[in-house]
Structure 1
Amino acid sequence: MDAVPLKGTTGGMGKPVSLTLLLIAEVAAMSVWFATTASLADIKAHWTLGPFHEALLTSSVQAGFVVGTLVSALLSLPDRIDPRRLFAASALVAAVANLAVLALEPTDALLPVLRLLTGLCMAGVYPVGMKLAATWANRDLGLLIGLLIAALTLGSASPHLLALLGGVDWRVPYAAAAAGALLAAVTVCFVGIGPQVTRAPPLRLGNALEAWRNYPLRLANLGYLGHMWELYAMWAWLALFLNESFALSMTDGAGDAAKLATFAIVGAGALGALAGGWCADRWGRTLVTSAAMLVSGACALGIGFLFGGPPGPIVAVGLIWGISVIADSGQFSATVAELSDRSLIGTMLTLQTCVGFLLTLVSIHLIPYAVELVGWRYAFAFLAIGPALGTLAMLRLRAHPAAVRIAGGRR
C-alpha cells in the first residue's frame, strides 16, 4: 500500500520543528514512569516494605503498559486514529494519576492501582511517539527512533535527579513528573505528521498475529525480548544497588551520591541511543544490536563483583552498562518498522513493546529475591541471559534474505 498522508494531520510544522517538539513531549511524559524508582530509597527509610511490595510499586507500571499496548495493538489504535490525540489524552490521564499519588501513603493499596493506570497511559505515549517519528523517516529511521529512545532515557533518568533535589520528600518526583506529563499533553498537539504515513488498515484482530507469522519479524522481536529482559530490571534496581553499595564504602553522603550516580548512568544511555541509531543507519542494525548486547551482558555479569568497593570503578562500569544497555533499543523498533507492512507499523511497534514489557515483569520481580538468595554480587548476573539469546536471534536475522530490507540493505 502506498503511503498517503492522513487528511488534515500533516499541519504546517516541518520535520525539524516537529521532531524537536516530539522529543520534548516524550522526555516530559516519560518522567512519570520511574517516579517510584527515584523515590524508593526515601520510601524505604520511612516505611517497611517487603520484596513483593517493593517490586509491585515498580512492576505495576509495567503491567499497566502491557495491558494498554495489548488493547492498542489488537484494535490497531496507533494506525487508525490521529496519534497526536492518542498521545495527548494518554499523557493527560497519566498526569492526573500521578497527582493523585500525592494524597496517599506509599503503603496504600491504591498506589499500585494508580501506577497501573500510569502504565496503561504510557501505551499511548511510547510506541505512538515512535510511530510519529517514523512518519518523517527518510533513510534515517534508526537515528530518528534513536532520538526518541534517547528522550525516553532522559525522561526515565530525570526522577533520580529530582529525588536528589527533593531531599527526603518522596512526593517531589511524583509532583514534578505530573507537571511533565501535562507539558507533554500540550506540546504534542503542535507536532506535525510526516509524509510517510499510510491509510488506516481494516480493523482485524488477526493483524497482531503478523508479528509471529512473519519469520524475520519474529527474529527481530526475539532479539528485542533478550534486550528487554535486561534493560528495565537494571533501570529499576540500579538506584537501590548503588545506594546500598555506597553505604558500605562511604562515611556520609552515600544516598545523594547514589542518586546522582544513578541519574548519570541512566541518563548516559541517551548518548548510547543516539550513537546506536547513527551507527545502525550506516553499518547495519543487526551488527549494532549484537555488539551492544554483548557489551551490556558483560557489564551485567561483572558489576556485582564491585559491590561495596570504591564508588569510582562501580560508576565507570555503570556508565558503560548504561550506554550499551539502551544503544540497541531503538534499532529493534526500526528493524520491525522496516520489516512490517507499512499500514501496520504502529500496530507492530505497539505489539513489540507489549510483549517486551510483559517479560520485564518477570525480571523486575526476580531481582529482590535474587538479592535475598545470593546478594548483590550475583543478583544482576542472571540478566546476561537475555542479551546472549537476543544476540543469537539477531545474528540469525542477519543471515536471512529479508535482512536486505533493513537499514537500506546494510542489515
Structure 2
Amino acid sequence: MKPSKTILPIIVVSQFCCTSLWFAGNGVMHDLIANFGLAESALGHLTSAVQFGFILGTLIFAVLSIADRFSPSKVFLCCAILGAIFNLGTIWKGNSLGSILTFRFFTGFFLAGIYPVGMKIAADYFEKGLGKSLGYLVGALVVGTAFPHLLKDMTTAFPWKYVLIGTSSLAVLGGVLMASLVPDGPYRKPGQKIYLSAFLQVFRNRNFRSAAFGYFGHMWELYAFWAFVPVMLKTYSTIHPDVAFNIPLLSFLIIATGGLACVLGGYLAQTLGTKRVAFLALMLSCGCCLVSPLVFAQSEAILFVAFLLFWGMVVIADSPLFSTLVAQNAQPEIKGTALTIVNCIGFAITIVSIQLLTGIKEVTTSNSVYMLLALGPILGLMVLSKKKPTKWYL
C-alpha cells in the first residue's frame, strides 16, 4: 500500500514544530543568565537537563513499549502538549537554577514521545526508501533544534519570553497536526504486551548492534557541537576583536544547514548504500573535530564560518542513516521500542560529552578541547569497519 503524498510532509512539519522545544533554553541563554543570576556554566547544565529528561523518558517508553502498544500519533500529541507546558515554565518570574533545570528536564522527558515516536511513525509508512524518509524527518529535527536561535535573532526588539511562547505554540500545533492527519501506518504491527527483555534482546542481532554503536559514536559529538556553536563563535570574536558575528543568526544557519545534509544523505544512500554514506559522514565530522584548533587560529572569519557550516552538515548527515539501519534490523513488533532504546543510550552519551566539555572549558581557554569530540566518531568508525562478527555476551 502506497501512502498518501501528504503523509511525509505532515510528519516532517509536525516533527519540526515539536522539536523546536529542544534548544529553546539555549536560544535565550544569555537572557536567562541575566534575569535569574545564573553562572556562565549554566549552558552545559541546562542542555544536559534536557538530555537527561529525554534519557529517562526514552528508558521508560522503551521498557513499557509505549510506541508499540499504543497509537504512535496519539502518543505524539500527548507528549507535544505536555512538553509545551513545561517549556513555558521557564518564563516563570520566580525561577531559580533548580526550577529551570526541572522545567527543562521534563521538557526533555516528553520529547521522548516526539523524536523516536516520529521516526516510528515514518517507519510504519515507508518500508521502502526509509533512509530518504528519515532524512527529511531528522532534517526537520535539525531545523527545529536551530529554530530558537533564529527566533532570538528575530525578536531582539521583543521580550525573550516570546521565544519560549513561540516554541510551545509550535509544539502544540505539531501535535495536533500529527494526531488529526496521520493515522496508524500500514506497516505497523502493534505490540500486545510489555517486553521487559527487549532492551537486551535487540542487541543480539549483529547488524543492529553495528548500527547502534555507530550511532552512539555519532551522538558523542553531535549535541556537544550544537550546544557549543554559540560559544565557538563568541570565542573566535574574542580572539579576533575586529570580527563581529551575529551569533544567534549564525548559530541557526550552522545547525540548520545540517537539515539539508540529512536530506542529501538520504538520497545518496539510495545510490551508494546507507552504511557507506553513514561511514563517510562520520569520518568527515571526525576530521572536523581534529582540525578545529587550527581553524580557530587562522584570521579569516569567512573561512571559520564556512568550516562551521561544513561541520554542521557532516555532524548530522549520518543520523537518519543510522536510524534507518537500526529500524531495518529490528523485529517489526518491537521496532518502536528498538528505536527508543538506541535513542536512550545515545542521548545518555551526549550528557557525558557536554559535561566533559563544560568542565574543561572552566579550567582552560584552549580551543583544542573540541578535539575530544573525535573520540566517539573514532570508536564508531572502528565498529562499522569490522568485517568479521565479534562474539557478544549479553
1:43–1:106: 8 Å Cα contact kept in structure 2?
Answer: no
1:222 aligns with 2:202: no
| Correspondence for 1:389 among 364, 374, 379 | 379
In structure 1, the partner of 2:347 is: 357
State the shift of 1:163 in Å: 1.1
What aligned pairs does 1:111-260 form with structure 2 within 5 A after superposition? 111-167=100-156, 169-189=159-179, 190-251=181-242, 253-254=244-245, 257-260=246-249
1:201–1:344: 8 Å Cα contact kept in structure 2?
Answer: no
In structure 2, the partner of 1:53 is: 42
Structure 1: distance between partners of 2:164 and 2:219: 25
| Correspondence for 1:17 among 6, 13, 23 | 6
Structure 1 stretch 263-272 or stretch 49-58: which is displaced more? 49-58
State the shift of 1:48 in Å: 4.9
Structure 1 stretch 184-193 or stretch 288-297: which is displaced more? 184-193
Structure 2: distance between partners of 1:400 and 1:193: 36
Q: TM-score, normalised by structure 2?
A: 0.92
State the shift of 1:253 in Å: 4.8
Structure 2: distance between partners of 1:375 and 1:390: 28
What aligned pairs does 1:289-308 form with structure 2 within 5 A after superposition? 289-307=278-296
**One-letter amino acid of the structure 1 residue matched with residue 176 of structure 2:** V
State the shift of 1:201 in Å: 4.3
In structure 1, the partner of 2:367 is: 377
Structure 1 stretch 106-115 or stretch 56-65: which is displaced more? 106-115
In structure 2, the partner of 1:329 is: 319
1:292–1:324: 8 Å Cα contact kept in structure 2?
Answer: yes
Structure 2: distance between partners of 1:273 and 1:86: 25
State the shift of 1:244 in Å: 3.0
State the shift of 1:294 in Å: 0.9
Task: Rate the CA distance shift 1:374–1:301 in 2: closer, same or farther, 3 A.
Answer: farther
In structure 1, the partner of 2:89 is: 100
State the shift of 1:299 in Å: 1.0
**One-letter amino acid of the structure 1 residue matched with residue 116 of structure 2:** P
State the shift of 1:35 in Å: 0.8
2:68–2:337: 8 Å Cα contact kept in structure 1?
Answer: yes
Task: Rate the CA distance shift 1:358–1:249 in 2: closer, same or farther, 3 A.
Answer: same
Structure 1: distance between partners of 2:89 and 2:30: 21
In structure 2, the partner of 1:409 is: none
In structure 2, the partner of 1:316 is: 306
State the shift of 1:194 in Å: 2.6
Task: Rate the CA distance shift 1:343–1:77 in 2: closer, same or farther, 3 A.
Answer: same
1:368 aligns with 2:358: yes
SS of 1:380's partner is helix
Q: Runs ≥4 in structure 1, deviation > 6 angstroms?
A: none
Structure 2: distance between partners of 1:170 and 1:112: 18
Q: TM-score, normalised by structure 1?
A: 0.89
**One-letter amino acid of the structure 2 residue matched with residue 316 of structure 1:** A
Structure 2: distance between partners of 1:101 and 1:47: 11
Task: Rate the CA distance shift 1:133–1:376 in 2: closer, same or farther, 3 A.
Answer: farther
In structure 2, the partner of 1:407 is: none
Structure 2: distance between partners of 1:295 and 1:16: 34
State the shift of 1:14 in Å: 4.3
In structure 1, the partner of 2:55 is: 66
**One-letter amino acid of the structure 2 residue matched with residue 78 of structure 1:** A
Unmatched tracts of structure 1, length 5 or more: 6-12, 402-411
State the shift of 1:38 in Å: 1.4
Q: Deviations over 1:225-251 (max 9, x none)?
A: 100000000001111221232244355
Aligned residues: 387
Unmatched tracts of structure 2, length 5 or more: none
**One-letter amino acid of the structure 1 residue matched with residue 219 of structure 2:** M
Structure 2: distance between partners of 1:338 and 1:400: 18
